[in-house]
Amino acid sequence: MPYKITSSNPSATFDINPADIRWDLQQWKPNQFHIVINGQAHNATVIETDYKAKTFKIAVNNRIYELQLQDELDQLSGALNFGNAAAKKHNVVKAPMPGLVLSVLVSEGATVKKGDSLLILEAMKMENIIKAPTDASIKSIKVVKGQSVEKNQLLIEFV
């Protein structure tokens, strides 16, 4: 499946098909990776992730890049002027990947602001802080500490 990646540098927009990439990727610390692509070594650090908005801030060889990932559905909806429908609807938070709930940081009935931490999800030996996509009140929490979750599993519902 091809993806379009848009960088903070406007001239650095490109399409990529993960099946075409030949690389060696080794994680050596949480959020830190050593990557070899075409015989060139690179050090990369994941600084920020927002899986719902599909945005990432990474440092590669000490240069910071802000990236926006678009899959085929995002590209099609953009071409049809639908925008990112998932970004417009903020009544639920789903797991961005399979993992283990390490901590639930909020409770039902609580009011949260956009960007507030909701829970911590461990995936691939990394702790990912799942944040509120918008200002809202929590209607229900569908997971508990220690629970394994699947990708797209409902975690939290908002009023």
Split at pLDDT 50, 70, 90, the class of 10 is low
The single-letter code of the amino acid at 44 is A
Mean pLDDT of the chain: 82
Q: Domain locations in the chain?
A: 3-72, 90-158
- Mean pLDDT of all residues in 33-49: 89
pLDDT value for 81: 45
**Euclidean distance between CA atoms 20 and 71, whole angstroms:** 16
Alpha helical stretches, state H, the chain: 72-79, 85-88
Q: Of the candidates 29, 57, 36, 32, which has an alpha carbon nearest to the alpha carbon of residue 44? A: 32
C-alpha to C-alpha distances, 25 to 4, 6, 44, 90, 125, nearest whole angstrom: 21, 22, 10, 34, 15
The residue ranking higher by pLDDT, 139 or 20, is 139
Q: Quote the pTM value.
A: 0.47
The residues that bridge with 101 in the sheet, in sequence order, are 121
CATH 2.40.50.100 for domain 90-158, yes or no, is: yes
What spatial distance separates the first Cα and last Cα of the chain, rounded to whole Å? Answer: 35
